[in-house]
Every structure is written in C-alpha cells, then in structure tokens.
Amino acid sequence: MVQRAANQDERAELLKDAQCVLVGGAKIDGPLLDRLPNLELIIRYGVGLDSLDIPEATKHGVVVAHYPDFCQPEVANHALMLLLAVARKLIPHDRAIRSGEYRSVPLPYSPPLTNETLGIVAFGNIGQQMAKRAKALDMEILAYDPYIDDATIAAAGARRAASFEQLLAEADHISVHAPLTPETHGMFGIEQFRAMKPGAIFVNTARGPIVKLDDLVQALRDREIAGAGLDVFEVEPMGPNHPIYEFDNVALTPHSAFYSEYSNRHIKERIGQTIVDFMNGKWPTTATLPNRDEVTPKRALS
C-alpha cells in the first residue's frame, strides 16, 4: 500500500522504523532525522541533493548516497528536444494541424540554430552531453561554470564565458544544467532575461527554483526573449490556470527529462545493489561524502 505524507509529522510516523529511505524530492532535515533513530542510509534516487540536509545526516550518523551519473544522456536529449521544439514551432504547428488549420502558423520567427551560439549554464556531465549534441547541429558552445577547469571546457570544444553576464549577452540561446544551491536559487529573473538577446530561446531541465517563473512570464509577454522550453518549475505541479500556459512559444514537459526505459531500469538495479552492499557492511560507492572519516555510521562498514 502506498501512503503519501502530507507533512513532516506524517513523514516521521511513516519512516519511524526505517533503516533505509529512498528519497525523490522529499525534504529530509535535522528535525525529521531527530525522529528517525533507526535510520542508517538515505538513497537519493537521482542526482540533485537540494532536498537533503547532508551536514545533519552526517551528524546523525546517516550515510547518504546518490547517483550523479544517472540519466545524463536522457536529460541532454530532452533539453535538445525542447530547444528544437521551440525553434521549429512544433507545438503551434501540431495544434494547428489537429484543428484543421494547415499552414496557419506564421513561419517567422524560426531560428536556424546551426552556426548560432548555445550558452550552457553549468558545464558538468549533463552540460557536456548537451554540448556534444549541440555541436552535432554545428552550434558554437559558450560555457559558464566557475567550478570547471579550462581544459575540460576546451576538450568539449566549448569556449569559456568569462562571466555570467557575458554568457547572457553573447549566447543566441541558453540551456541550464546547474544544481539547485543558494548560489543558483533565483539565478534567472527579469534582469537576466532582459540581458539576453530578443531572439533567444531559454531551456531549463535542471531545477525549477533556479528560474523565477513569474519573471519568465513577464519576459515572454514583453518579448524580451523568443521562447522557452521547461521541464521543471518552481512549484510542481503548477495550478490549472498558470499564465505560462498562454504562450505558444513555450514547450512544457512534466519533470520527465530523466526518464527512459534504460535509465529507469538501471537506477532500480543500482539502488538495489547499494542497499544489499550497505546491509552487508560495505561503504556505498556513491556516498556523497568523499572522506569517510567525516561520518560515523551506525553500523560497521568496510
């Protein structure tokens, strides 16, 4: 039987006897951990760790594992799909044909993408995968990531943006692949959209709160940018009457970029193996803490 916790009190009751917890987007913080005395292992079945308080877990002797290499090709494929869908007007063309209005959608503005510059915000594994796909379209790559070295950016055939502001000004289109951190929360607001080119398409397959959605709506209304492709949102799901729905130059998907038959099956296999190894006294190979001495687990691990 599946039970959904409406709040942290209900979550604590449901998890009170758990030794291992699998987490999607649920918040696991210090007050909750105080109420889970048997908990030994948290597995984030995905990449992002923004819902987990790692220092508190460490203080409670709870090991946290995740899979930073999960679904990288899938997310990059999805981001490229959103970019192409907006650029080629897939949504309005499809709607028009289904309503019996063949060729009723004006063809301009449809950017070529080829020979244009794609700005990639965060050039980690998924950002590099996105660069590879964009280069197949003969796009130029401008990468902004203060934590990635020059050699990695150059090896991917990209050019480093000296600043976030440079990326906003020079990129013809922008794709976001950053984790959600205090540094990236609200990173894109009305000032950033106004700094972008008016023909730019903005794609976000990272985390919703990186983008101030109301500001994006305003930018689209004011034609500060040409369109957007979004897989993630500040609040998920959104209400039925959200103003983002009014735009034909916006492509929306329901936080599904991670999914393929392979990625879904593979992550389940890896989670199962992580649990078996942990219960048999083995340190998880995907633990979030690189230094094992930083945490004292509740069971002996080798």
Dist. CA 26–CA 139, nearest whole Å: 38
d(C-alpha 261, C-alpha 187), whole Å? 32
Prior bond of 237 cis (ω within 30°): yes
Catalytic residue among 236, 246, 265, 292: 236
State the catalytic residue, choosing from 160, 207, 224, 270. Answer: 207
Q: DSSP alpha helices (H): ranges in the chain?
A: 8-15, 30-33, 54-59, 72-87, 90-98, 125-136, 150-155, 164-170, 190-195, 213-221, 261-279
Active site residue 207: yes
Question: Distance from CA of residue 211 to its chain's centroid?
Answer: 11
Q: Is 255 a catalytic residue?
A: yes
Q: How far apart are CA 73 and CA 213, in angstroms?
A: 26
Active site residues: 207, 236, 255
